[in-house]
Every structure is written in C-alpha cells, then in structure tokens.
A and B are shown apart, each in its own frame.
Chain A
Amino acid sequence: MADLSTKIAGLTMKNPVMTASGTFGYGVEFADFVNLEDIGGIIVKGTTLHAREGNDYPRMVETASGMLNCVGLQNKGVDYFCEHIYPEIKDIKTNMIVNVSGSSPEDYAECAARVNELAHIPAIELNISCPNVKQGGMAFGVTTEGAAAVVKAVREVYKKTLIVKLSPNVTSIADIALAVQDAGADAVSLINTLMGMVIDIEKRKPVLSIATGGMSGPAVKPVAVRCVWQVAKAVNIPVVGLGGIMNAHDAIEFLLAGASAIEIGTANFVDPAVTVKVANGINEWLDQHGCKSVGEIVGQLNA
C-alpha cells in the first residue's frame, strides 16, 4: 500500500482524487455508490452570490467520447447553500470544497467571503472559466488582467486555500496561471471545458439552447494533459489536473505531467463509483512500480 496522501497548499488529502464541480452534485447524490469519505476531496456544484436558473433545455449533447453541456451555473445562491446544503454535507469526513463563480470581482468576493465563514469548508475553487454564462465566468479567465482582478478581490476576503480553475480557451494558459499565482492563488486547477458546438443538420440549428457548450470527457484528455504539463512547468504553486479522466491510467498521466491531485468529472456520469476505483488503481500502479508515494511521480516525466 503506497502513501496516497497529497497536499494542495494548505489542504491535506488522503488521496489525490477529487470530484469536478458540476459532475458530483453535493456528493450526497452518490452516497449509494461510493463511501464519500474514501474520496480525497469533493468539489460541489458551482455557487454564485445570487440564485441562477441556468440556461434553457437542451443543455447537453453527446459527442464521440464525450459530451457538451451548457447548464449555465444553475444554483440556488450562496445563502441557500449556507443555510440548507452546508448542514447536510459539513460532517462528511473529506475535503468539501465549494466552487465559486460570479459576474463581477465584487460578486466573487462577496460569495467567497460567505463561504470563508463555513468552518468545514477548507478551500474554494474559483471558477473563472465557465464557458456557458454570458457575463462573467470565462470572460475573466481569458485575460491575465481579468483573471488577476478576480483573484485579488477574492484573496483579500478569503483566508483559506484558494484554488483557481482555468480555462483552456486561451492562447497561453501558462500566462493566465502565472497571473493568478501572482494575484495570490494557492493552487490552480485545469482544465475547465473546451468551448464547442454541435449542429442538427436537418433543422440547420445548433443542438444546444445557447448554440455553444463546454466539451468534456475522454475526447479532451490530451488537450488537458498538455495544459497541465505547460502550467506545471511555469508556476511554483500546486496544480490540480482534470479533463477526461476515466481510470487510474489517465490519472497517472496527469500526475506525471505535474499535477499534485486530479479531479474526475464526466466519468461520474458513466460510472458513479469511478472515483474510488481510480484511487485504488493509482495505489496498485504505484505498488507495481515500486513507488512508495504519490509524491514520487508528480511531475516525474522523462522529457
């Protein structure tokens, strides 16, 4: 049994497997399938200062080895989260992390400040990369100035571990990562979804209600691994890797590319018990290769 524990700045995790925001609800939806406490960290659904209804249906379309979604951050707002959802999840013995989104630096900061008050939430993941909302979201994450402005505003009010989730829909993701590092981020996670589009040729219309959506699933994995590799070389804060991870083999690619932890997203829809299988699979691989800990392989690429 290898030592699977890993650290993301101030966050200690029993294993490097987390769940990606928007793919695992608040964790409790999956409690029939996995022991939630066997997962290193659970990143809950994107939360905003005010309630959001999200985009119209259809919000999802399948594509070869993946899918596109344009959910649009449907959630009941941070106050509802604090009053009704937090009490239900606060005693789950793993890192319960809130994904925070907004439409202005002030919104982000206000939402983060409320979550800062929650004793059992040790970290937030700041979403500056959602491709599915008109205002905010990805608009901040595609320029170094925009990304830095949001992170600065949140850093002033948020005292615990601050992970910033980056968009791949940029010219240089390493430049954005450096900007958020300089603005005070404790870690970065990447990649959010790739913006894509699917057309119904008979109707001559886009399938998704807002025409475009975020692509995820194994089809995007090579793009994600490349991004993680580029960012890990550029920054000196920990990197969390995600994008199309379906199994332990995929997860180990990200660890070798420089990720200290990984998130599993779309795979949860195919196998609701995949998280624990990946954690066990990483352990087996480490044992087979004579590695005593996860840390031994992070960034250890022969390139």
Chain B
Amino acid sequence: MKKFVKDLTVKAVEYPHELYVLLKLTDTEPLPECLPGQFVEVKVEGSPQTFLRRPISINFVDREKNELWLLIKKVGEGTHRLAELKAGDCLNLVFPLGNGFSPVQKQGEKVLLVGGGVGVAPLLDYGKYLKEQGAQPVFLLGARSQSDLLEQELFKAIAPVYVTTEDGSEGEKGFVTQHSLLKNETFDRISVCGPKPMMVSVARYAKATGTPCEVSLENMMACGLGACLCCVEKTVKGNVCVCKEGPVFDIDDLTWEV
C-alpha cells in the first residue's frame, strides 16, 4: 500500500472530554486508501520537546465527506499541542502506516471488538468495515466512569454496545473481562485495543475459550516505517517492528504470558 507524506487541513475540532480532542481532517483531493487499524504519524510544530512525530490511530474515515478522524488523548506536550489546533490549520501526516486489523474471514462471523480508554478509537472504523462486509461486530467498551466513554452514539449506530465502568456509573461495574457478555455468548474471534493489562486479560480469556484474538500495540516509535527498529515487540519470530509488522498482532505470535 502506498504511503504518503501530506499536509491535511483541519476541518473541525471537537472536544468530547476534557482529556480528549477529535480532529477531523480533510484534503483537496480524495484521501488515500486506509485500512481499519492503521495509523498515522503526525508532525507537531514548534516544540523542541516534541522532536519526533506522534503515532495516532485512525479513528474513522468518512469517504463521503473525505474526512479522516483522529481521536487524541492529551498525554504529554505533543498531544496537548495537537489539541490547540483550530479549524483551517494544517497538519502534516505520514500515512497510512502499519498492517491494520484482519479482514473479514467469513460472512456472518461474530467479531467481538474490545476497547479501553483511547484504545476505542480504531474500533469505530473497524466496526463499520466489518458490518459493511457482512460480519457481525459487537462492541465491548471499558472506561473508568460514564464520562470517560467516548463516541458512544457512533458505536451504537454500527452495532450493539456493551459497557463496563470501574465505578459502575454506566453498564456493568468492573473490567471488560468481567462483563456477563463473555459468560453468555461466544464469538468467532476477538480484536482488542487498549491499555496493556486489559489486552493481556482479554488475551487470557481468548486462550481459555479457544477464541482467535488479535491485539493492537502502541510501543514507543520513531520512524513509523520499519527503518529504525526502535518500537520492537518480542514475538515467536524474534524482535519485530510494531510500526510495520503490527500494530496488530495475533496473540499466538506474541510472547505474552497468558
């Protein structure tokens, strides 16, 4: 897949939560093909502390409006600067990067999409893709509290959404792996994106039930192109680049203790 380095235009900026910003980007020409689960590397201008690009997963691609969405959590100086962008500003992207989530395996397959925190971002695009391709996605989203749940209406428009919150303010109380859905239903496969402890516990559930499972990793990166070998993850094939061979890995290829 051809990769590009391009200035996109910020079309709209939304603030769904005090810690998050949603950038809707567009271009004068049609945006290139991007697969669900791929990511972009954005350049943060004017900050010596933010020397490298920031890898951000693609939240959604709206072909009709020619928009690419980035849902960004404000963590450090770089992401705080991105949150200061205004409509009309330019943002330089290297994209699309990485392998993305698995394509549809068979018609009607039930795919559980588990997300936590900002890890829900790429699941929106993937869920839409799965539904369009004749699969049956189901979302299971975890958050600390009701106010931390992001893009709920958009997820609900695609497929059933099940929720856990740590304080019980919405959905079932606890972590995603404690949700009754996992006791009551079975799935053909699972895709996960979120904090590592969450992904590990979902991977354990998947192993225990014999369900194929893939996870999306977010190791610290420099180039995003498989050149610098900084973002490696240990796999059964040795150290491989998360930016190029991933970010999505089958849990059977990782060396996690699950």
Q: Point out residues on A near B: beta carbons under 8 Å.
A: 22-25, 29-30, 32-33, 45, 53-54, 56-67, 69, 71, 74, 217-218, 266, 268-273
Contact = CB atoms under 8 A, between A and B. Distances in A.
A45 B226 CA distance: 11
B228 A74 contact: no
A98 to B, nearest CB: 16
30 contacts: A22-B227, A22-B229, A24-B227, A29-B223, A29-B227, A45-B229, A53-B238, A53-B239, A56-B234, A57-B233, A58-B219, A59-B232, A60-B220, A60-B221, A61-B220, A64-B48, A66-B51, A67-B51, A71-B228, A71-B230, A74-B229, A268-B227, A269-B222, A269-B227, A270-B43, A270-B52, A271-B5, A272-B5, A272-B225, A273-B5
B183 interface: no
Interface residues of B, number: 31
Interface string B217-258: 001111111111111111000110000100000000000000
B65 interface: no
B4 interface: yes
A22 B2 contact: no
A54 B220 contact: no
B223 A268 contact: yes
Nearest to A71: B229
Given A45-B229, A58-B220, A60-B231, 14 more contacts: A23-B228, A29-B225, A29-B227, A32-B2, A32-B4, A54-B239, A60-B221, A63-B51, A65-B51, A69-B228, A71-B229, A218-B51, A269-B227, A272-B225
Nearest to B49: A64
A56 B224 CA distance: 18
A142 to B, nearest CB: 24
Nearest to A61: B220
A198 to B, nearest CB: 12
For the complex of A and B, the 7 pairs showing the least CB-CB separation, nearest first, are: A60-B230, A25-B227, A32-B3, A269-B223, A269-B222, A65-B48, A29-B225
A60 B228 contact: yes
B51 A217 contact: yes
Contacts of B224: 269
B174 to A, nearest CB: 27
Contacts of B225: 25, 29-30, 272
A67 B232 contact: no
Contacts of B233: 57
A70 to B, nearest CB: 9
A67 B222 contact: yes
Contacts of B4: 32
B53 interface: yes
Contacts of A273: 5
B48 A59 contact: no
Contacts of B244: 29
Contacts of B52: 62, 67, 269-270
A69 B222 contact: yes
B94 interface: yes
Contact of A69 (B50, B94, B230, B238): B230
